[in-house]
Amino acid sequence: MALSALTGKLENDVEIDASPDKFIYMFTHTPHHVHHTSSERVQGCDLHEGEFGTAGSIICWRYVHGILLLTLIQLKLHFFPFYFITGFLNVFKIWQSQNSEGAKNSITLRVLDGDVMEEYKSFVVKIQASPKSDGEGSVVHWTLEYERLHEGIGHPETLVPFFAQLTRDIDAHLLKQN
């Protein structure tokens, strides 16, 4: 991406107990199982072209990105405010590339279509899982690279904790399997 005031990059590291191989395998070969690990965030994943685990595959992710809503309910002529967390069902249609730039245990997801493309000209998610220095577990490095359509659109900072929690949910699931 060319550097401009509209481009941005957000990065985050999440430490997990699962191995790098197992974590990345979930995204490359079994992304359709991710919703079992984090159903509050991921509603499903469908293959549109190619095969799971193959670079160049096109996959559609359905995810919920939560927001706080205030709802008023009328009951016997009294209004009671109720707060609840809900979210909009969003869609990422992505092109999947494994082992980006020759790195082991990495995947690059380039968003082709979906809700996020209403605000961004380009949006790329890179995931790199590396062994921790002590040999136990992994550090998962998330990189979001994007270009906003205009300056009135904010940076996608709320996706950083979203992906961090998704990482922890997947880790918990992988540890249960052992």
- Would you tell me how many other CB atoms lie within 10 Å of the CB of residue 172? 14
Adjacency order of strands within the sheet including 78-98:
7-16, 138-148, 120-131, 106-114, 78-98, 58-75, 42-49
Q: Look up the pTM and report it.
A: 0.82
- Would you tell me how many other CB atoms lie within 10 Å of the CB of residue 100? 16
Which tens digits make up the pLDDT trace of 20-77? 999 999 988 898 899 899 888 888 888 888 888 888 888 888 888 754 333 344 343 3
59: its two tokens: 């996959």
The radius of gyration of the chain's CA atoms, rounded to the nearest angstrom, is 18
**93 falls in which pLDDT band (50, 70, 90)?**
low
Percent of the chain at pLDDT exceeding 70: 77
pLDDT score recorded for residue 87:
45
Q: Does residue 78 carry a pLDDT above 70?
A: no
Q: Does residue 154 carry a pLDDT above 50?
A: yes
| Burial tier of 106 (Cβ tally within 10 Å: 0-12, 13-18, 19+) | buried
Q: Does residue 81 carry a pLDDT above 80?
A: no
Maximum separation of any 2 CA atoms in the chain, in Å: 65
Element (H, E) at 161: helix 159-177
Rounded to 5°, the CA angle 43-105-66 comes to 25
Q: Taking all residues of the chain, what is their mean pLDDT, rounded to a whole number?
A: 81
Q: What are φ and ψ of residue 25, in 5° steps? A: -55, -35
